[in-house]
Amino acid sequence: MTDLKIYKSGRAGHITFNRPKALNALSHQMALDLLGALNDWRDDPQVDLIIVTAEGEKAFCAGGDVAEVYRAGMAGNHQVGRDFFRDEYRMNATIADYPKPITAFMQGFVMGGGVGVGGHASHRIVGDTTKIAMPEATIGLIPDVGGTWLLGRAPGRIGEYLGLTSERMGPGDAIQAGFADYYLPEAEWPALIADLEQSGDTARIKSKTPPPAPLSRRDLSAFGERHVEDIVAALEKAGDEDTLKSVRRSSPLSMAAGLVMIRASRGDRHIQESLSREYRFTWRATEFSDFLEGVRAQIIDKDREPQWSADASEANISRILESLGEYELRWKEETA
């Protein structure tokens, strides 16, 4: 059984996540295979659009499969993570700039690496089970896979809120925040997919009235403060204990750097600029951040008690976001 099912049907190229027991976690090879399929279909006259789906009811894709990155990093090999993130980000940028429509049907958990696939598609469809989040700060990383690009474009202070709290969005909030475009009950997805296969026409996608978007009614003014400690102080003054609990479980470095990067992305003209900034952090992540400890606590040992220790000072954030020089993310494969 392959982790990705890649095939053509009618006028459509299909990509289906096929690791339901692993919540369709995205591996390095899956990122490469997905990118390869998109490159193959770019100029294929038989393919009018791309359809991305996932097997299983629980998840479209619950994130990147970082266990191998963790093991290599613990052994002092930081290149495994650098290669994974490099190829994943190239795939994310390809989706965002693809010349043909990409329709993503996102059920269940859509987190991290899943957002990097579905969140950049041209036609993003959600249903009643959809739960979208960028929870990287809880594993000592930053919102990557173009997450800072999406969060920076969310209205008001929703982006800062989502990046620091790792809050999950239902379908209404996902549309309101700019992470999705259409709401359609999942029972109606098979008929629409069949229609798209036959017609190759995205005009057939019709949204129904989405559920409420409670985030749009929340007071998120605290997340307009300059620094994480200022945000915490504002939340304490407001007595918002639920939000404080979410903030306090995450890596201080990840939150502080993520805040800087979400705001910096608002000045970016292209997603590649945001991805390049994210890569500077993730290139250094297994060596200089809380990432390995976060993965240990949340994914490997699952004790949910990370011991954060990375330096969250402004000076260190500047260092970790410095140019990588010759290792800066390039957007095409190197040729010998």
Residue 278 corresponds to which tokens in the numbers above?
């994210």
Distance CA 259, CA 107 (A): 28
Q: Is the pLDDT of residue 287 over 50?
A: yes
Residue 152 corresponds to which tokens in the numbers above?
């920076």
Beta bridge partners of 4: 17
pLDDT for 209: 95
Mean pLDDT of 37-64: 97
Mean pLDDT of 14-37: 97
Report CA-CA distances (Å) from 309 to 240, 247, 289: 26, 16, 8
Distance CA 48, CA 58 (A): 29
Sequence letter at residue 330: R
The pTM (predicted TM-score) of the whole model is: 0.96
Instruction: Lay out the sheet containing 109-111: strands in order across.
Output: 59-61, 109-111, 131-133
pLDDT for 49: 98
pLDDT for 247: 96
Distance CA 155, CA 157 (A): 6
Q: Is the pLDDT of residue 75 over 80?
A: yes
Report CA-CA distances (Å) from 280 to 207, 261, 321: 38, 11, 5
Strands 109-111 and 59-61: parallel
Distance CA 180, CA 173 (A): 9
The DSSP symbol for 52 reads E
Q: Where are the domains of the chain?
A: 4-327
Q: Which residues contact 56 (CB under 8 A, 6 or more apart)?
A: 20, 21, 23, 24, 108
The number of residues in the chain equals 336
The string of pLDDT tens digits covering residues 201-255 is 999 999 999 999 999 889 999 999 999 999 999 999 999 999 999 999 999 999 9
The string of pLDDT tens digits covering residues 86-137 is 999 999 999 999 999 999 999 999 999 999 999 999 999 999 999 999 999 9
The distance in angstroms from the start CA to the end CA of the chain is 33
Distance CA 255, CA 89 (A): 21
Sequence letter at residue 26: L
Q: Output the CATH code of domain 4-327.
A: 3.90.226.10
Work out the percent of the chain whose per-residue pLDDT is above 90. Answer: 97
Confidence of residue 1 (pLDDT cuts 50, 70, 90): low
Sequence letter at residue 171: P
Mean pLDDT of 76-89: 97
The string of pLDDT tens digits covering residues 303-336 is 999 999 999 999 999 999 999 999 999 886 543 3
Distance of CA 323 to the CA centre of its chain: 22
Closest listed residue to residue 171, CA positions, set 129, 233, 135: 129
Work out the percent of the chain whose per-residue pLDDT is above 70. Answer: 98
pLDDT for 216: 86
Q: What is the mean pLDDT of the chain?
A: 96
Q: Which residues contact 185 (CB under 8 A, 6 or more apart)?
A: 127, 128, 208
pLDDT for 334: 46
Mean pLDDT of 27-51: 97
Residue keyed to tokens 């990093």: 73
Half-sphere exposure of 179 (CA within 13 A, CB side): 32
Mean pLDDT of 280-296: 97
pLDDT for 333: 56
- b/e code 242-281 from CB counts within 10 Å (16+ = b): ebbebbebbbbbbbbbbbbbbbebeebeebbebbbbbbbb
The string of pLDDT tens digits covering residues 141-165 is 999 999 999 999 999 999 999 999 9
Distance CA 196, CA 138 (A): 38
Helix axes 228-238, 158-165, angle to 10 degrees: 90
